[in-house]
Amino acid sequence: MNIFGIGLPEMAVIFTIALLVFGPKKLPEIGRSMGKAIRGFQDASRDFESEFTREAKQLEEAVATSSKPETEKLAAATPKEDSTNI
């Protein structure tokens, strides 16, 4: 079991030190608050990612619509080759 690059022996040592420092009554409360903080961070990260992808799509659409008339103008401005002159 490897979470955040920390193996089972390291997690046991961290848990033991936390138990000694905070005591058995305070440890569940600390675990709950850390869980809520991690959940909040995940939600914020998910929101940021969705906002970023939405803005990227809007930017791609804006670039596609602004470059489309230019290619049509270029196609209309270039003379077509006549196969009879060859």
- Can you tell me the distance from the alpha carbon of 60 to that of 54, in angstroms, rounded to the nearest whole number? 10
CB under 8 Å to 8, separation ≥6 — which residues? 1
> Is this structure's pTM higher than 0.75?
no
pLDDT in tens, 39-73: 999 999 999 999 999 999 999 988 888 766 555 65
To the nearest 10 degrees (0 to 180), the angle between helices 27-77 and 8-22 is 130
pLDDT in tens, 28-46: 888 899 889 989 999 999 9
